[in-house]
Amino acid sequence: MKFLVETSARHVHVTKETLETLFGKGFELTVKKELSQPGQYASEQRVTVVGPKKELPNVSILGPCRNADQVELSASDARSIGIAAPVRESGDIAGSGACKLVGPCGEVELKEGVIVAKRHIHVTPEDAEKMGVKDKEIVKVACGKEGRKLVFDDVVIRVSEKFATAMHIDTDESNACLGANEGEIVK
């Protein structure tokens, strides 16, 4: 079964408290574009992510607000600004990289929260059954365009009725396969 492969570019998830520090009391995110995962969106709001070496301006905030702040960068992004960001699943931020977020009304120092997102496939329960996979299973995925076909190993399956089936890779991974838009699990 083939499925959508999407490039997940650098982005930030913030708590309501962090959003208000960066943009002002009572501020709400403005939807710019709905994303493939139900209820998720890219907002109009952008921040600067500051590391020890340099900064990344205009980084998109994804909504809605979350229970913890999280910055997702490619390994190249993290290295370029001097942050040691581990490869982790979303939400697993304990002991991860630190940075500063700067918005138009303030800034927030994050002691942890910067990760390189582990490549993963969001899968509906129905599609998981068709694919013969289970939640948290690690698989290999073939994808890529002519001249840059490849097989990604260490891809984690994430099953939920709240998901739409799609694989997420970061910009480094997307560049390696020329922006593949379709993948298939291989044994």
Question: Which of 130, 98, 94 minimizes the C-alpha distance to 114?
Answer: 98
Q: What is the pLDDT of residues 124-140, one digit of tens each?
A: 999 999 999 999 999 99
Region 145-160 average pLDDT: 96
Query: Which residues, 6 or more positions from 172, have their beta carbon under 8 angstroms from its beta carbon?
Result: 74, 75, 76
**pLDDT over 90 at 54, yes or no:** yes
**pLDDT over 90 at 29, yes or no:** yes
Q: How confident is the model at residue 187 (pLDDT cuts 50, 70, 90)?
A: confident
Region 100-110 average pLDDT: 98
Q: Give the rounded percent of residues in the chain with a pLDDT score beyond 70.
A: 100
Q: What is the pLDDT of residues 109-126, one digit of tens each?
A: 999 999 999 999 999 999
Global pTM value: 0.95
Phi, psi of 16 (to 5 degrees): -60, -40
Question: Which of 185, 183, 165, 181 minimizes the C-alpha distance to 123?
Answer: 165
78 SS3 class? helix
pLDDT for res 143:
97
**pLDDT over 90 at 61, yes or no:** yes
**pLDDT over 90 at 149, yes or no:** yes
pLDDT for res 122:
98
pLDDT for res 14:
98
pLDDT for res 174:
96
9 SS3 class? coil
